[in-house]
Every structure is written in C-alpha cells, then in structure tokens.
Structure 1
Amino acid sequence: MGQYWFTIAMECREKWIGQTGSKLGEWFWDWEVMGLARLLKRPHWADDISCTAQWSRLDHGYLPTTSTGASAPRRAKGILSLPVELVNAVFDNLDDLLDVLNMCLAHKFLGAIGEPLAHKLIAEEYAPWAKQKIICIGNNLLDSDLPAGLERYVAQDIRDLIDHTEDDEHDGDEDDDQLFGTAIDKYGKRGGALWHGVLHMLWPAGALTRADRRKVAQLARKLDVVERKPYASSNVEDSQLVLFNLSKQKYVRQASVQGLHERLVEPEAFPGKAIDLGQVLLSHICWSSDDGCAMAVDSKRLTRGPWAGDHFEVMYAGQSRGRLDSEEWTDVTDDTVAWLEELWRDTWRGT
C-alpha cells in the first residue's frame, strides 16, 4: 500500500509539480527528481565579468559615466534624459524579471544601470527554493504530528489560506489533517528553475531582434546550467556540487553520490533512474503520520525524515570553502551514501 506525496516549500507556499502527487515508490528514483535539487542550486557567476554590463561596449573616451561605469547617452530623450537616480527609481519599482530585462535591452545605458536588479531577480529565479523550509508530506499526515518548528506554519500561515464561514460546521474546531489538502489546493505551482537554455523563451517568438538575441545569449552564457542527462561525461562541474542543510549545518558532497550512481544504476541499465542530490534530499525530508510509501524499504525511517522542514541550498565546492573548512559544519556524505545504497538495494531486491 501507500499514500500520495507532495514536496512543498512552506515559506513561499509552493508545491513542486515534478514527479510528485503519487505514491512515493512510483517516482522516488526517477531522474526527474534531479530537478528538485536544481531548485536549490545557487548561480555560479563568473568572477571576472559582470552578468549584463558586457551586453554592449561603450566609448568611454568622451561621454560621462554613471556610478556603474556606463556612459550617459548624448542628446538623450525620454527616460534616457533623466538623472541616474530617477532611472534607478524606475528600476526599483520593477519586480518582474522580463520587465527588467526589457528595460536593459532597450538601451546600453539602461542595461548597465539595471544590472544589479537583473542580477538579483535572475538569482531568485535560478534557485527559487534555496533557503526555504522544504518537506515532502504524505496525505495521511496529521497537523498535530509535524516536525518540531513547523507547527506555527499550520497554526498561522496554512489557516490564513483556508476560507472560513460563520456557519462553519466545526464551530472553531479544526480538522487535524489540513496541511496536505491546503497545500495541494492553495499553494502555487513550481516547475523547473531558470537555466540558460530557456532564458530566451521568456519572450514570445519573434519578439527579440537578432541583436537582442545576441545580448540575451551573452547574458545566458553567464549562467552555468545546461540540460544534461544524469552524469553525462561532460558533467564534470556537477561533481563538485554540495548539498547544504543550513538548519543543521550538515552537508553532502555530490562526487560520492555520483560514484554511487555509477556503481549501482549504470551497470543495471535502469532506464530513467538516477541517484542524485535530489534523492539525497528526498530520502531525508519525507514526513507522514503513517509509513506507507509503496517501497519495500525501512519505511518508518524514510517517512520520518530527520531533515523534514529544514532550510537547504546547493552550491559549488569552490563557492563554499568557508563552510567546508569549518569545524562547525559536519560532512555526512558517507552516512548518506550508505542510506541511499540501502534504499536502492531494498527497492530492487528480487527484480
């Protein structure tokens, strides 16, 4: 038997629409679960070049420059004639990535001024669930049986989303299983994170000129993610990724998880299956009041995940030396790999 499971980010009130909404054993090992960790992956900006200021090279020899180094336009009209401070105020009132990028594309001067905001919004779209409270909940979860620290989200945030009427049949007595249903009905949907192969798709077909497409392509090259099959031979950089549990100050290195994938998955040629940081996360954040998961594994351990509701992010090792070298952080890679191997072998025993 089993129950239905959804992965949610509680603080931003979103549910992942990847391989969820069915029994856990039906999708736990699917390669699409890689997308779950992708929602946590911080951008790997190049250090030697800014994201957007290189869209257009300017002649700085005789034109005045702004604080960002961009030349002010000569004989400017319209918004270009405004002081830099007012142009900044216009950007400050934009919160949509497409609006900001359109402003940046309109003129090299605007592109340079809008660079910091474009950077910020791209980073948010790039890792929308980084530093969020994440949990994968089963539909038999009781609200009185949540991991420590999550009760207030049910008591306040979740109930804020529920419509109550004066003649509520419960007369103030709430059901004890509202979180799952409310999350499914009221939470927003979160698909994949932003990556450079789809950046140009923010615009309708034909909306960009050839020059603008070149500018967008240059911006896209500063983003590091490309669509790859699990552990393709060119995927060297991904082996340097690290999953951080920010709440408990623990981390798991991708390189060892990749080694487990190569040792267990590839020789058996399981189509569409993977062992990735997504499975690392999922194996620690499942939570329900019964242990039904449609998997022949240690279900009591799997469905009471010790990291359920914690904050996470994924970064490259080179970005994280402070944490990796700190005695305050604990490397739990070996224990995690052993747990994943146990889950994998128990899942496929006898097949």
Structure 2
Amino acid sequence: MGGQGWWMSNLTKRQQKYGAKLGEILFEGNGEELLLFLRKVAHRPLDECIKPYIPGAHVMLDQWGRGVRLAQRSSVAPTGIVALPVELLDAIFETIHGVVERLMLGMTCQTLWAVARRHVYTLFVQQAAETCNWAGDRIACLGDYMLLREAPDHILSEEERAEMRRGRPTGADNSDSDEEDGGDRGPIPDWWWTECGQRSWVHRTAGAVHNTVLRHAKYQGDAMWVCDGLLDVAITCDPPLAPRTAVLRNLTLQVYVREAALVEMCERFRGSDELRAEFDPHGPGLKLWDTTLGDLLHCRICWSSVDSTAMLYDGNICQGVWAGHCFDIVGGEWLGKEEQTEGWTDVSDEALAELEAIWRSEFRPRGY
C-alpha cells in the first residue's frame, strides 16, 4: 500500500493546514511553519513596535551601521489637515481600516505619525487575535486512513465522534450508535474542519505590510527608496523570541524539549565530517543538522489507523506518543523560573534520539 496523505490538524479549533505524504512533510522543511503557529506572540510595547518620531535622533537601520538622522520639527505653522485637533485626527484614522493605508498617511509628516502609530498598533493587536495561533491547542498530523472508531480519546472525544455522526448527509443514521451506515468506520468528514489563515500573525506582519507599501510605490525610483527607508525607521515586526532560546512544551504531559539541545546536536554534526559521512550526501531533502523543533514535533504527533508512510523508518511513527496533545513555544527564560518549571520533565534527549533515528533510516548511505 502506498503512503497515505497526512494533514497537520488543530483538533481544538478544527483547523487543517498543509497536507502531503509523510516523508514530504518531514523531509522538506515544513517544521519552521509549525513553530510559527505555536509561538505565544507577546506584543512589544507601542514605542518599540511602532517607533515614535524623535526630531534630530539618529536611527540605526542594520548591524552594519547604516542609519539616518531624523529631521527637526518644521518652524512653519501647520495648515490643512495637520492643523486639526488631535481628536479629529483620531476620528479620521479610525475610518481607515487597513494597516498599510494608516501607515502611508501617517508617514507624510511628523504630526500625523504621532497619531497614526497608535492606530497602526491597534490593528496589529487585533490581527494577532484573528489569525491562526495554535499555542495551547490539541494538535496532530492525521493520516487519511484514520478511522473514527479507532482514534483514541485524546485524538477525538466521544462527543466529537457523536457530532460527526449526527452531521452526516440526509439518509444516514443519526443515532448515537451508527454501525449500520459505517459512520465510525470512515475518516473525519470534511465539513468538520474550518478555514485557517494561510500564515501566522508573526509571519504576515514581518513581510506583508512592507511589501504592500513598496507595491504602492510601484517599486520604482525615489518613491521605492523613500518608502523603504521610512518603514525601516518606523516599524519593527521581528518575531518576539530568539531562535536559540526557545523551549517546546507539551502542556498535556508537562514535558519539554530545549532548542539549545537541538542546536548542540546540529552543530556536532556540522563540525564532524565523520558523523556526516553516516548519511547519504546525495540524499534529497532536509539534513538532520538543519532540523528545527518543528521537525522534531512532526515526528511525534502523527496518528493513523494504518501504518502506511512510504518511509524506511520501522518505528511506530503512525501512532505518535504526542498526537492530540497541547503544545506551545516559550522563551528560554522560562527554564530559569523554578516556580513555573516545578513538576516538568526535560525529554530533550529522548526526542532527539527519535529524530536522529528517523533521519538515519531515510538517509543512510547506499549499500548499508
């Protein structure tokens, strides 16, 4: 039997994301996207996220020392819209619904920016609540051959199964016992799932606003460079967590995996020709030493009734030990708070051993 299709699923919000053969999900670098949905987005304060205009200040734009000196305030008396009271300017910005439109009007002068940045920040906070955030939710990578009656209770509760039976097309048996029409013998019906946004808030705001403004400038000449420079000065949308200090937490079992341990393993392989020689150098896909916490999590949350993966790994990956559990990603500073970590167990070594075993099975050198 060929490998079944697998779907990254949020069982709490009934959302599904990318689907593919399991080997494609694991070995083509989908882990980073999963991490984005599990991060708890902590908004930076207004002044850090949407920066104030400080006349005469020198603003650094990058690590190479590139910067700009902000202009001093104009001595010319304000006229037109700029002369309106702040209350009226607030009312004007409240009628503008898009982040980009608020940014572009606000960046026309210092007075309008002082008002606009508060309204831009408000939209960012609203969008964070509306987009796809899976932190704290039950998630699993579900196979096409999963049968409702074989799914354990931590994957589907009896109430959820009963709802699926009741929601079947006209003519199906809607009783609690639906053996005659085989209701428990099929997969989760398509109607049970709801739509999920294409990307997380962190991912969207980091690029979409910037690119949209440049598109309005038609990517041409001075307009493009002015918009680009203004955005670098005005707005910061970096992900809130440093990548090497993250901790993946299984909230259901109260266990965690340290990203620092994964980074240490990856650097050990990168620094050793002998270790890398144990893998096929011409093998396609993601190398073990380039994996993320998201790739590690993929290996432990799969669930299906049928062991069909089209992979070489012979472990029980199809009924993962963490499937249907709740997860989030937090910063490494959490580890230093003893009152918060009491009762938690570090399972980094166990999880990394499974990750390495899966990659070794798939990418062993020819002839082994």
Q: Structures share a fold, TM > 0.5?
A: yes
| Kept after mapping to 2: 8 A contact 1:45/1:223 | no
Shift of 1:155: 4.2
Shift of 1:2: 2.4
Shift of 1:139: 0.5
| Kept after mapping to 2: 8 A contact 1:42/1:126 | no
Q: Does 1:348 align with 2:345?
A: no
| Kept after mapping to 1: 8 A contact 2:256/2:346 | yes
> Which has the larger displacement, 40-49 or 250-259?
40-49
Residue in 2 that maps onto 1:2: 3
| Kept after mapping to 2: 8 A contact 1:6/1:138 | yes
Q: Does 1:190 align with 2:198?
A: yes
Match 2:293 to one of 249, 274, 277: 277
Cα RMSD over matched residues?
4.2
Residue in 1 that maps onto 2:65: none
- Count how many residue pairs are aligned between Structure 1 and Structure 2: 315
Matches of residues 331-346 of structure 1 in structure 2 within 5 Å? 331-346=346-361
| Kept after mapping to 2: 8 A contact 1:43/1:223 | no
Letter in 2 for 1:293: T
Residue in 1 that maps onto 2:257: 252
Q: Does 1:35 align with 2:50?
A: no
Matches of residues 1-351 of structure 1 in structure 2 within 5 Å? 1-17=2-18, 20-22=19-21, 24-43=22-41, 49-54=47-52, 56-57=53-54, 81=85, 83=87, 87=91, 90=94, 107-114=112-119, 116-121=121-126, 123-124=128-129, 128-149=133-154, 150-151=156-157, 152-156=159-163, 168-172=170-174, 173=178, 175-176=183-184, 177-179=186-188, 181-182=190-191, 187-188=195-196, 190-191=198-199, 193-194=203-204, 196-203=206-213, 205-207=215-217, 212-218=227-233, 220-224=235-239, 237-264=242-269, 267=276, 268=279, 269=281, 270-273=283-286, 274-300=290-316, 302-318=317-333, 321-322=336-337, 326-349=341-364, 351=366
Distance in 2 (CA, whole Å) between partners of 1:257 and 1:119 is 32
Distance in 1 (CA, whole Å) between partners of 2:46 and 2:101 is 26
**SS at 1:16 equivalent:** strand
Shift of 1:3: 1.3
Return 5+ residue gaps in structure 2 as ranges. Answer: 57-76
Distance in 2 (CA, whole Å) between partners of 1:297 and 1:194 is 35
With the length of structure 2 as denominator, give the TM-score of the two structures.
Answer: 0.67
Shift of 1:334: 1.2
| Kept after mapping to 2: 8 A contact 1:52/1:112 | yes
Computing the radius of gyration over CA atoms, which structure comes out larger, 1 or 2? 2
| Kept after mapping to 2: 8 A contact 1:196/1:220 | no
**SS at 1:334 equivalent:** helix
Distance in 2 (CA, whole Å) between partners of 1:99 and 1:144 is 51
Distance in 1 (CA, whole Å) between partners of 2:33 and 2:121 is 27
Shift of 1:212: 5.0
With the length of structure 1 as denominator, give the TM-score of the two structures.
Answer: 0.70
Distance in 2 (CA, whole Å) between partners of 1:140 and 1:265 is 38
Letter in 1 for 2:188: L
Distance in 2 (CA, whole Å) between partners of 1:180 and 1:242 is 34
Return 5+ residue gaps in structure 1 as ranges. Answer: 60-72, 226-235
Shift of 1:333: 0.8
Distance in 2 (CA, whole Å) between partners of 1:255 and 1:330 is 16
**SS at 1:260 equivalent:** helix
Given the superposition, is the C-alpha separation of residues 311 and 199 from structure 1 closer, same or farther in structure 2, using an over 3 Å criterion?
Answer: farther
- What does the per-residue CA deviation read over 1:110-148, in whole Å, with 9 as the maximum and x for residues that have no partner? 324325524424645887333332210000111223343
Letter in 2 for 1:41: R
- What does the per-residue CA deviation read over 1:45-76, in whole Å, with 9 as the maximum and x for residues that have no partner? 6679521142x3379xxxxxxxxxxxxx9888
| Kept after mapping to 2: 8 A contact 1:139/1:288 | yes
Shift of 1:291: 1.9
Distance in 1 (CA, whole Å) between partners of 2:259 and 2:265 is 10
Given the superposition, is the C-alpha separation of residues 281 and 244 from structure 1 closer, same or farther in structure 2, using an over 3 Å criterion?
Answer: same
**SS at 2:216 equivalent:** coil
Shift of 1:286: 0.5
Shift of 1:88: 11
